[in-house]
Amino acid sequence: MMSKILLFSALLASQTNAFVVAPQHSSRPLLIRGETRQNAATEVSQDTPATLPAFENKEAYMEYMEGVSALPKGFATGTAKGTFISVEAPAMGALPIKGTVIHLTEEATENWAAVFTSNKFPGAPVIVGRQRLADGGPLHALVINNKVSNVCSGGDGVGDSEMVCKAVADALQLEGGAKTVLPSSTGVIGWRLPAEALSNEVVPAAVKNMDSVSGLDAAAAIMTTDRWPKLRSKTLSNGARLVGIAKGAGMIEPNMATMLSYLMTDATIPKAKMQAMLSKVTNQSYNSISVDGDESTSDTVVMVGSNQVDNTDEAEFEAALLEICQGLAADIVRNGEGTGHVMRVEISNFPGSELEARRLGRHIVNSPLFKCAVSGNDPNTGRLAGAIGSFMGKYKTDGAVDKMTLTLGGRVIFDNGKFVLEGDSVEKELSDHMADAQYNEHSDYPPHQKCVEIGVDFGAGTGDASATVLGSDLTGEYVVVNADYRS
Task: State how far the Cα of 415 lies from the Cα of 213, in Å rounded to an integer.
Answer: 54
* pLDDT tens-digit series, residues 17-41: 232 333 343 434 333 333 333 443 3
Residue 177 pLDDT exceeds 60: yes
- Select from 261, 262, 246, 332 the least CA-distant residue to 291: 332
Of 3.20.20.60, 3.10.20.30, 3.10.20.340, 3.40.50.2300, the CATH number of 342-483 is 3.10.20.340
Phi (first) and psi of residue 348, to 5 degrees: -140, 155
As beta bridge partners, residue 22 has: 81
Supply the mean pLDDT for the chain: 87
- Confidence (pLDDT) at 31: 38
Query: What are the E-state strand segments in 21-85?
Result: 22-23, 75-85
Which residues are part of a known binding site?
224, 247, 258, 337, 482, 487
What average pLDDT does this structure show over 112-131?
Answer: 91
Rounded alpha-carbon distances, angstroms, from residue 36 to 32, 43, 212: 8, 16, 10
What average pLDDT does this structure show over 430-442?
Answer: 95
Sign of CA dihedral 349, 354, 360, 366: positive
| 3-class SS of residue 258 | coil
* pLDDT tens-digit series, residues 230-273: 999 999 999 999 999 999 765 444 443 358 999 999 999 999 99
* pLDDT tens-digit series, residues 442-477: 899 999 999 999 999 999 999 999 999 999 999 888
DSSP state of 200: I
- Confidence (pLDDT) at 119: 80
Residue 481 pLDDT exceeds 80: no
- Confidence tier at 330 by pLDDT (50, 70, 90): very high
The answer to whether 308 touches 106, Cβ cutoff 8 Å, is yes
Query: pTM value?
Result: 0.86
- Confidence tier at 188 by pLDDT (50, 70, 90): confident
Residue 60 pLDDT exceeds 60: yes
- Confidence (pLDDT) at 259: 81
H-only helix segments in 173-242 = 195-197, 203-208, 216-221
CATH homologous superfamily of 10-334 equals L-amino peptidase D-ALA esterase/amidase (3.60.70.12)
As beta bridge partners, residue 185 has: 145
- Confidence (pLDDT) at 83: 87
The answer to whether 408 touches 430, Cβ cutoff 8 Å, is yes
Measured in whole angstroms, the distance separating CA 127 from the mean position of its chain's CA atoms is: 20
Other CB atoms within 10 Å distance of the CB of residue 64? 17
Percent of the chain with pLDDT over 70: 86
- Confidence (pLDDT) at 257: 36
* pLDDT tens-digit series, residues 368-386: 999 999 999 999 999 999 9
The residues, any chain, with a CB within 8 Å of residue 424's CB and separated by 6 or more, are none
Task: State how far the Cα of 133 lies from the Cα of 112, in Å rounded to an integer.
Answer: 9
Q: Report how far apart the first and last C-alpha atoms of the chain are (Å, whole number).
A: 8
What average pLDDT does this structure show over 107-117?
Answer: 95
Rounded alpha-carbon distances, angstroms, from residue 86 to 96, 150, 154, 170: 10, 12, 12, 26
As beta bridge partners, residue 407 has: 412, 455
Domain ranges (residues) in the chain:
10-334, 342-483
- Which are the catalytic amino acids? 258
Measured in whole angstroms, the distance separating CA 5 from the mean position of its chain's CA atoms is: 22
| 3-class SS of residue 429 | helix
Residue 15 pLDDT exceeds 70: no
Residue 13 pLDDT exceeds 60: no
The answer to whether 235 touches 45, Cβ cutoff 8 Å, is yes
Residue 5 pLDDT exceeds 70: no
In the chain, the amino acid numbered 422 is E
Which residues are part of a known binding site for substrate?
224, 247, 258, 337, 482, 487
